[in-house]
Amino acid sequence: MRSWNLTVGPKGQITLPIEIRRKFDLNPKTTVTVVFDDDDEVQVISPRARLHAMRAKYPPAYLPQPMTWAEVKAAAREEVAQNVWDEMHQPDQP
């Protein structure tokens, strides 16, 4: 396990080392979760870890395997396109 000593700046911010940002694909505007417990321990949880935890807690029974974010976006686009097509080809209603 690795550890870093990070300095809190005047605005209460810390800078995560590049090694951590690269490993967890943390880019500007990425939201991370900070959790602290009764033992005064703090955890920083990456979006990927949150997603894995949610998948474990709520397994998508209707999917043969978890979808990537790109696959979710593609499926959503396809569904929207199908809805638009269906609306355009409905008979006019009085």
Q: Which pLDDT score is estimated for 19?
A: 92
The C-alpha atoms of residue 39 and residue 42 are separated, in whole angstroms, by 9
The C-alpha atoms of residue 32 and residue 53 are separated, in whole angstroms, by 14
pTM of this structure: 0.50
The predicted-structure confidence for 36-84, as pLDDT tens digits, reads as follows 888 888 888 888 888 877 777 776 666 567 778 898 899 899 999 988 8
**Long-range CB contacts (within 8 A, 24+) of 82-88:** none
Q: Which pLDDT score is estimated for 9?
A: 94
